[in-house]
Every structure is written in structure tokens, then in C-alpha cells.
Amino acid sequence: MSLGVTRGFIVEEYSAAPIQDGVERLGIEADHSSICKFADFDSPGFEAVAEGIQRYTREAPATVKRRWQEEKRGRDEHRRGVIEGLGGEQLVMSRHQFLS
């Protein structure tokens, strides 16, 4: 008995999983509801998703540390640019003379 349901894609692959540097792509044979609720350990995609989560968890501390360092460098560069825009060296000299 047919219920009139057809299997199809809601969006094309390039839209659902665009190719980007540093981004993993994984196809899981499941609908939207099942893609994040695995029935058991043998469900399609479970092992790949579980391994990805474990790997991200191991890599997270180093990734977060690197991103904080990059953020700090960016803030420092911005501050230097602002100081230089305000007369940089003169401000530093004035502060030095004031403290002497």
C-alpha cells in the first residue's frame, strides 16, 4: 500500500553542505528529525557523529587558546593604530615626561 510519500531532497547538497576550508562535510542517510536523534549505536551516522564530537572535545582547549591569542593580537594592533592616529609618539613622550 502506498501512502503517496516520495523520498526527495529539501535542498541541494551544495546548499546543505557548502564546501569551505576547515569545515568537515558528512552525509547521513536520515531525515531532519532523525539526524540528531539516533535510535541506537548502529543507526546510520551515529559512529561518525560520535567520533567527531570526541575529536572536537580533545581539540577544543588548544583551539580556544589559539583563538584568544589571535583576538588579543587583533586588539593590540587596533590600540596601536588608535594611538598612532592620535599622535602616537607625542602621547608616549608626554606620558613619559609626566611620570619623570
Quick check: 44 and 28 in contact, CB under 8 A?
Answer: yes
In a domain, 18, yes or no: no
In a domain, 40, yes or no: yes
d(CA 33, CA 12) in angstroms, rounded, equals 18
pLDDT tens-place string over residues 39-52 = 888 887 888 889 98
**Number of domains the chain is built from:** 1
Quick check: 28 and 49 in contact, CB under 8 A?
Answer: yes
pLDDT tens-place string over residues 51-93 = 989 999 999 999 999 999 999 999 999 988 888 777 765 555 5
Structural domain containing residue 58:
29-99
pTM: 0.50
